[in-house]
Amino acid sequence: MRRNINNNDDSQDQIKSKNNKKKRSIIIMLLWLVICMVIYYQVFMIAQYTLGKTDKENVWLYNSVSRLFKKFSTEKIDEAIKEEYSLKLAALGDIYTTQTSLANVKSGSTYNFTSKVENIKKFLTGYDVVLASLNTPIASNTLGYSSKTVYNSPKSLLDMLKTIGVTTVATANNHIYDKSEKGIQGTIDSLKELQINQIGINSSSTREKPLVIEKNNIKIGVLSYATSSKVSIAKAKEYMVNILDEKTLKEDISYLKTQKVDFIISYLNIPNEESSLITSDQKTNVELLFENGVNVVFGTGSLVIQDDYEDLYETSNGAKSHVYSIYSLGDFIGANDTDDKNLSLVGNINFTKKVEKDKNGTVNEAKTQVDMLVEKPLALWTKIEKNKSTTIYEVDSEVKNYDENNSNLTSKEYNNLKTIQTKIDEMYK
């Protein structure tokens, strides 16, 4: 009897289990039916919305999927790291000495160029990179220092450049070969000793590669060319000075592109002494630089300042780029024997770069943006003291100092600076 009772119990349990499974199957089937009907209805509503027969608010499936997609997209965008960098650059004009200017700074057997440059040093500290044009050999006195038409300057001139913050000099110009091969080698050695970079002259037929300056995550390529030499260069020694020609230019630009520079700057020396008028030769050569990928050109060789040019330049292959040129910066340190030659410019540019990185720090090159903000050039005025020594003033700063009773200038000198200030404002709007 006990065995029969157990068998009956097992049968009843099996019947209950089958009934429960059947109920669950029915419930699941009904749920799927409801889901299918809802999906069908929402697909129908999406079709109606597409046809303009219902409002977007009624299509909740579409709205839900859109919200999820937007949330996912936002999260992906938030993962990108956006960074912005900037580099402030100052570019000074020609630097050289004459027989007269050397006599003015001579003290016994030495030459002191640094006694009155503190105010220049102070305002140049606001720049990340300071460039200049070295328009003279720096070689031994045994070769003879500067005469009226042939230049050669003491090494202490470089000490002054180091003091005010110049890190790189352009050396290709019409006077750099004035002391021939020994002058070139002496200049290279002197600059290397003081750890001032140079581009424009070479000690061997294997030309120096263009300079690459990297600061604040921005890379700048620097070039330097002359169009002539005052002293004839033997054909076997032509490699010593970078004379502008399109083949060499293309090679230099190609190298800089392999270095992935963001901007290319070139100094260009074209003799046009004491003329404020821009020649067709200047314009043609500046355009040659722009055509081949140079962004900024600083002109030297004219002794006095000249106008500037800024545009969105279109090359022959249709590419467009933001370009800028000052045709002549004038003499930062030079003859300084006329009112016009006492005035020079400082090229004043703020380079910018925007990059986007993923969460691993990899830069998205396609989204990198670079540009430059060209500020009004700064004007420098050289005052000749009674003892023939010189002091260089930044015009805007010294006008402000005078207005605040913090200047040693006379009223006549102040009025001269005001006139210069007006001239600069009109030339470089």
Residues written for the chain: 429
Predicted TM-score (pTM) of this structure: 0.81
Question: Which range has the worst mean pLDDT, 206-220, 281-295, 385-399?
Answer: 385-399
The two structure tokens encoding residue 179: 């002391």
Q: Which two tokens stand for residue 152?
A: 């050669």
Spatial separation of the C-alpha atoms in residues 117 and 163, rounded to whole Å? 8
Share of the chain above pLDDT 90, in %: 68
Task: Report how far Cα 322 is from the mean position of its chain's Cα atoms.
Answer: 12
Tell me: pLDDT of 2 over 50. Answer: no
Amino acid at 137: P
Check residue 416 and give its pLDDT: 96
The β-bridge relationship of strands 369-374 and 390-394 is: unpaired
Query: What is each CA distance from 368 to 80, 312, 327, 363, in whole angstroms?
Result: 13, 19, 30, 8
AA identity, residue 208: E
Q: Compute the average pLDDT of residues 15-44.
A: 73
Q: What is the mean pLDDT of residues 146-158?
A: 94
Residue 299 has pLDDT above 90, yes or no: yes
| pLDDT at residue 145 is higher than 80 | yes
pLDDT tens digits, residue range 24-38? 777 777 777 777 777
DSSP H or E run through 308? strand 308-314
Quote the CA–CA distance of 186 and 190 in Å, as a whole number: 6
Give me the pLDDT at residue 73, please.
55
Tell me the CA distances in angstroms from 331 to 93, 167, 206, 214, 339, one per residue in order.
5, 18, 31, 27, 12
Q: Decide if pLDDT at 381 tops 50.
A: yes
Q: How far separated are the first and last CA of the chain, in Å rounded?
A: 116
**Predicted local distance difference test score (pLDDT) of residue 3:** 46
Q: Provide the strand spans (E) within 138-231.
A: 168-170, 197-199, 211-215, 218-226
114 or 376: whose pLDDT is higher?
A: 376
User: Cβ(271)–Cβ(301) under 8 Å?
Assistant: yes
Tens-place pLDDT, residues 177-226 = 999 999 999 999 999 999 999 999 999 999 999 999 999 999 999 999 99
